[in-house]
Amino acid sequence: MLERDVAARAASGEVLLAEIDAEPAGTVTLLRPGTPQSRLAVDSEGAGWKEWVPTPSSVSAGSAALGERTRSDISRKEATAMGNPAEHEVAVLGLGVMGGGFAHNLARAGLDTVGWNRSTPTAERRAWLGITISPDVADAAAARVVLTMLPDADTTIAVLEQVVDQLPEQAIVAQMGTIGVDGTHRLADFLSGSRPDVRFVDAPASGTRQPAEQGTVTVLASGPDAARNDPTLTRAFDAVGSRTVWLGEAGTGTRMKLVINSWLIATMEGIAETAVLADQLGFSPEEVWDVLDGGPLASPYIEGKLRKLQTGDYSTEMAMRWGAKDAQLAADAAPGLRLPALDAAREQWQHAAQADPEADIASVYTFLRADRNGR
């Protein structure tokens, strides 16, 4: 009877699991959400509900939702995690072009944010980020919501292996990079096997440097409803993007991201090849845009890339090496499917990435021009 009462109260959001008391045996301490000054202890062996009492300072209000579990269902690892307070609202693991933009906008939105990067950011960049930067990834991960923005699946899993035991109970891990279908499955399996209480959200961001810095990416989110309705995650996604599209169960976001990336690759390749043809026929990229401007084929993305081609400014919005990686991930997602344009672009972008991996993907234009001239 009592266990059903606990489950009902937890499912309604009335109480949050805070800690397991060693004595008396079977006692679970619960918190009222948003009221760290009071708690309720309940004896799962039948003593019944006790009165609300002041919460000791060692108990955090940011603990996990109990759901329908009783004390006997809670693993030793989960019990240990209950002692990990959420010291920050949001953590960003990976402060590169995209992750740095996310961190900057999270801070601007007033979210208590901590960041970690594999290399130490410069003093100038630290000032721009405006967040606490931890040298220890495990310390950084003590947050209610952990956003990862790392280059690939292997790196993402390796980093999370270092912090998984330090994640607070019922933390949310939102993976926002492009790590592919297989990588997303491996990450989800790792988290569910290591920490089943942690909620995994697959939420790759669609956008490049400028949208990341301006907080206007599109978040392609997928995962459990319990995470979708989490207020801290909602605030975080609102801070980093202009739009969040929820697509279903975890993994759906990554599949859509690969679809969008294939469009981006085809668009950039088309821009570059069109500009090479225009050059051969005596027109500049600027003249091509002048004709397109205002018509149905024009878009801000095409305008921006044609301007890069016109000026020769290949400062990185999306690095060539990551474009080549994403082309490969898109191809890997559909083995056996004939996609000749994507296959040709994938091979070409891999060669271009070898020539200048850090240049913007618009630099494929210079690669094509050199190939035209036999160099």
Task: Give the C-alpha separation, 12 to 253, whole Å.
Answer: 28
Q: Tell me: cis bond preceding 300? Omega within 30 of 0 counts.
A: no
Across the range 50-60, mean pLDDT stands at 38
The pLDDT-based confidence of 123 (bands split at 50, 70, 90) is confident
Instruction: Give DSSP secondary structure letters for 356-370.
Output: -TTSBGGGHHHHHHH
Give the DSSP per-residue string, 155-175.
Answer: HHHHHHHHHGGGSPTT-EEEE
Per-residue pLDDT tens for 9-25?
A: 544 444 544 444 444 44
> What are the structural domains, with CATH classification, of the chain?
2-74 (no CATH), 88-250 (3.40.50.720), 255-372 (1.10.1040.10)
Cis geometry, peptide bond prior to residue 24 (ω within 30 degrees of 0): yes
Cβ within 8 Å of residue 80, ≥6 positions away: 165
Distance of alpha carbon 363 from alpha carbon 351, whole angstroms: 12
* Res 30: pLDDT: 52
Q: What is the pLDDT of residue 85?
A: 65
For 78, the enclosing helix (H) or strand (E) is helix 76-81
Q: In this predicted model, what pLDDT tens digit does every residue of 257-311 receive, in sequence order?
A: 999 999 999 999 999 999 999 999 999 999 999 999 999 999 999 999 999 999 9
The DSSP symbol for 71 reads G
SS3 category, 93:
strand
Tell if the pTM clears 0.85, that is, is over it: no
* Structure tokens belonging to residue 246: 């929820």
